Amino acid sequence: MNTMQYSGYMARVEFDERDNIFVGRVLGVNSIISFHGEAVAELRTAFIEAVDDYLADCKERGVAPDKPASGKLMLRIDPSIHAAVSVAASAAGESINQWSEEVLGRAARESMERTAAPKAKTARAAKTAPTPKRPAAKAAKPRTTSRTRTAPAHA
């Protein structure tokens, strides 16, 4: 995931091929704060202006701006996982909060690195490597299974 940070707010950035622009959206707030730019410098300026405009609008209306995160996280998890977390935290000599913060932080960083690395690698490869010609595909043997599984629909 490509992200930008400013004044405690984080935005996700994507490239819109149809319009040939970068489009960003601030994460972790209830309001929709979006911005765009044709180049990175223009995108960064638009992001800063969008956050500053949002904060000024909140001040003008006399409302507190949404904070990206309050520091409180409520989870509903399987009791067996809760028990395992409790044991793991105790074994590490930490409270569940301390242990969870460490584990969740590590998982979030690793997830962001995994999603950013393939995109960066793909972008570099696309700029430097010619498009390889693919050999003609061989006909695949039909596969049969004895049962069909349908994945649940998720929003």
pLDDT digits (tens, 9 = 90+) for 1-26: 699 999 999 999 999 999 999 999 99
Q: How confident is the model at residue 140 (pLDDT cuts 50, 70, 90)?
A: very low
The whole-number pLDDT of residue 1 equals 61
d(CA 115, CA 107): 12
Q: How confident is the model at residue 113 (pLDDT cuts 50, 70, 90)?
A: confident
The architecture of the domain spanning 1-69 is 2-Layer Sandwich (3.30)
Q: Which of 43-57, 59-73, 140-154 has the highest mean pLDDT?
A: 43-57
pLDDT(36) > 50: yes
Q: How confident is the model at residue 118 (pLDDT cuts 50, 70, 90)?
A: low
The whole-number pLDDT of residue 120 equals 54
d(CA 144, CA 18): 40
| Mean of all residue pLDDT scores within the chain | 80
pLDDT(117) > 90: no
Structure tokens at 18: 């149809």
Q: What is the mean pLDDT of residues 61-84?
A: 89
pTM of the model: 0.54
Q: Which of 1, 69, 4 is nearest to 36 (CA)?
A: 4
The whole-number pLDDT of residue 116 equals 67
Q: Which of 77, 29, 74 is nearest to 55 (CA)?
A: 29
What are the beta bridge partners of residue 36? Answer: 23
Higher pLDDT, 115 or 149: 115
